[in-house]
Structure 1
Amino acid sequence: MPAFALDTEQLTWCAEVRELGAERLRPLAEAGAPGRVNRELVAALGELGLLARVLGSGVTGPPGSPGTAGSPEPSVAGPVRALDLCLLRESLAYACTEAETALALQGLGAGPLAQAGTERQRDRWLGEVASGRAVAAFALSEPEAGSDAAALTLAATPEGGGDRSGDVGRGGGGWRLDGTKTWISNAPYADVYSVFARTGGGAGARGITAFLVPGDRPGLTGEPLDMLSPHPIGTLRFDGVRVGPEDVLGEVDGGFGVAMRTLNLFRPSVGAFAVGMAQAALDAALGHAARRRAFGGTLRDLQSVSHQLAETATRVEAARLLVYAAAEAYDRGDPDIAKRAAMAKLLATETAQAAVDTAVQIHGAAALQRGHLLEHLYREVRAPRIYEGASEVQRSVIAKELYR
């Protein structure tokens, strides 16, 4: 099915998710404390079966039927579809950005567990995260390794010495983690972290291993960062944190692939998050332009305003279609997903920034009043151009793929 031809069931489901976001989730989001994990909101996402849909493989959510949040499928027991993830994130972002972010962070944090965890790891944590009882986090970034994730230096030192930590891990030994992670969403309050550390020698993507580390593991501490963000972002410090082979996600020295596969799934849906915010801003601007009287008529009668709205609507729709196309390419297993995902994230996040700015300009000073939808979106829309690969990184990825 072409990405631009969503069927009736999908459109109905998106409308239901928007309604749930506005009526069930937004009140919980508004009651939460900025900079803290809103566990009531996360629990509600679990109860509605939305977290199970994000985590996909091996998670069975509440039965779905027409008219419920679980539609259109009765349960989620196979791999998550990127298109479904995009539709879900776009719909939630339109109605409640905090709910969308809480959902995305659970999916990103437990994504490595869902794709590469052992049966024992999944039995212990996956159901807890999918139900909203446990909060997960994706711990990749470091003070000197943000966009260049392969430059990470968190050290995994073999317990008892040895020439190569990977050999120790395969032989049944363990490691000690020492170093710092920062800009980690849900830190330092998460219950479990997907942590990426250097087990092999040398720099670059090789020699990185993914570990599943409970938040109460001895030696793991952290502090929150004061950020322009409603959800917590913090720094984690590892001081001799012990991990063993039972904590490895996937293969020893294969952690960079685990991280990239997780990000490749979520990168198009960051674009969907942006499209949801852009559509909310556009709709707000359309409503305001139709109501606001100025110069003997309404704002929409002014060509300078109506042309801005027409341009914004065109760009939002183009971004939406590119996001859907990238998601379907991922679901088909196309070989050019890296390029498509980068294009989708780049265009959608840059478009959303412009759409929100245009909507603020059309509203005027009222849009900057604390509590206004556009004031909220103006703060929320900036970060997606940075995280999961800044716009400059996406352009580099696209160029590299073009030259290939």
Structure 2
Amino acid sequence: GAGSDAAALALDAAPDGGGWRLTGEKCWISNAPEADFYTVFARTTPDARARGVTAFLVPADRPGLTGTPLEMLSPHPIGALAFDGVRVTPDDVLGAPDRGFGVAMDTLNLFRPSVGAFALGMARAALDATVAHTATRTAFGGPLSGLQAVSHQVAEMATRTEAARLLVYAAAAAHDAGEPGVPRRAAMAKLYATETAQYVVDTAVQLHGARALRRGHLLEHLYREVRAPRIYEGASEVQRTIIAKELYANREPTA
């Protein structure tokens, strides 16, 4: 139920001896219910928002843990998990108790550029297909590429794709090098690459015409696949919030 407000997560971790009992439900979980282990964030301190969350590594065969797959627009391995008094111990804790939110944010700083790379691959595939199609498809006495209305759209697709590539590579390099500003750069890479992929794939469909909507066509597949990355690992609106927050927090004071 928390969605983008991750600090509001409600999975309860009640003290139980030297450990905890997890009770509640989680939805939109990657690789559920097929995974062997789950990284689970639960509330160990009530009403503490981000400061009361603990991260656990929970084996899928732990008693009380069940899951069901969810049928999505595109066939991502996504499911829901139910926790019925699932016992976890200090050995299952990732990081430290009540410090799990930091674990989550550090993980997102790594995965947001990787989501950008995933989106970049879709944009590049759509662009390559469009260049090939418009160079060979004839209409109005010549190839589609001879029409300025078409060639300028392809140029825009290529420019945005290249800009997204540079942002993704820069964010990944900054993370690997431990440079400052990683949260902002990771958010920029994820935001721009996923929004660009949506634009490029949609434009590619338009330039291909009806054939792109036929089941089994590359662009039909990409059109379904490209929508999710703008939501998971932080929706585009969340990325803009992170970028703005980082900019204002690090601005130079005025005299």
State the TM-score, normalized to the length of structure 2: 0.95
Unaligned residue ranges in structure 2 (runs of 5+): 250-255
Q: CA deviation at 1:247?
A: 1.1
Alignment of 1:301-340 (within 5 A): 301-340=146-185
Alignment of 1:1-400 (within 5 A): 144-160=1-17, 173-400=18-245
Q: Distance in 2 between matches of 1:217 and 1:312?
A: 48
Q: Which runs of 4+ in 1 moved over 6 A?
A: none
Amino acid at match of 2:176: D
Match of 1:47 in 2: none
Q: Distance in 2 between matches of 1:346 and 1:312?
A: 16
Q: Distance in 1 between matches of 2:86 and 2:201?
A: 43
Q: Distance in 2 between matches of 1:401 and 1:199?
A: 28
Q: Would the aligned equivalents of 1:272 and 1:320 in 2 still touch at CA under 8 Å?
A: yes
Q: Distance in 1 between matches of 2:155 and 2:126?
A: 13
Q: CA deviation at 1:229?
A: 2.3
Match of 1:3 in 2: none
Unaligned residue ranges in structure 1 (runs of 5+): 1-143, 161-172
Q: Distance in 2 between matches of 1:246 and 1:295?
A: 69
Q: CA deviation at 1:289?
A: 0.4
Q: CA deviation at 1:274?
A: 0.8
Q: How much identity, in percent, do the aligned residues show?
A: 76
Amino acid at match of 2:2: A
Q: Would the aligned equivalents of 1:147 and 1:388 in 2 still touch at CA under 8 Å?
A: no
Q: Distance in 2 between matches of 1:345 and 1:394?
A: 8
RMSD: 1.0
Deviation string for 1:303-322 (max 9, x for gaps)? 11000000110010011101
Q: Would the aligned equivalents of 1:187 and 1:223 in 2 still touch at CA under 8 Å?
A: yes
Q: How many pairs were matched up?
A: 249
Question: Greater share of strand residues, 1 or 2?
Answer: 2
